[in-house]
């Protein structure tokens, strides 16, 4: 594979928001896939208080070279002041699956 791949994690306030973000990224060719886990519980510190709230998690598969575009687009679509947008490098994967990610995200090249 010529490029590196990422798994990007984004939390959202609702399943609907997560779906809208995931769909936009896939439709725009910035992601090959966006899995949505509709109900997670997040405990975090924000602005001096500890919060315990329900959220949805988006697991996005994309290319390393598209991360800044994904990050920018998520920030445009997201309701949070500071959304979680984190990524881990995909170290290994089935070659056919990685080729699929490459192919479906290459339309913008």
Q: Give residue limits of the domains in the chain.
A: 5-108
**Residue 81, pLDDT above cutoff 80:** yes
Residue 79: pLDDT band by 50, 70, 90 thresholds?
very high
Q: Would you give the distance in Å from CA 73 to the centre of its chain?
A: 10
User: What token pair was written down for 34?
Assistant: 């966006």
**Residue 108, pLDDT above cutoff 70:** no
3-state secondary structure of 28: coil
Largest CA distance in the chain: 47
Domain over 5-108 is classified CATH 3.40.50.2300: no
pLDDT score for 1: 41
What are the backbone dihedrals phi and psi of residue 39, each rounded to the nearest 5 degrees, phi first? -135, 110
**Residue 109, pLDDT above cutoff 90:** no
Query: Tell me, what DSSP letter sits at residue 70?
Result: H
């Amino acid at each position: 594979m010529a490029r590196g791949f990422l798994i990007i994690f984004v939390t959202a306030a609702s399943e609907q928001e997560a779906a809208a973000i995931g769909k936009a990224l896939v439709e725009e060719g910035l992601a090959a896939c966006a899995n949505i886990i509709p109900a997670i519980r997040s405990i975090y510190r924000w602005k001096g208080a500890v919060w315990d709230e329900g959220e949805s998690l988006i697991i996005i598969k994309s290319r390393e070279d598209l991360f800044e575009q994904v990050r920018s687009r998520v920030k445009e679509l997201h309701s949070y002041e500071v959304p979680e947008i984190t990524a881990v490098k995909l170290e290994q994967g089935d070659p056919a699956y990685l080729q699929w990610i490459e192919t479906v995200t290459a339309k913008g090249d």
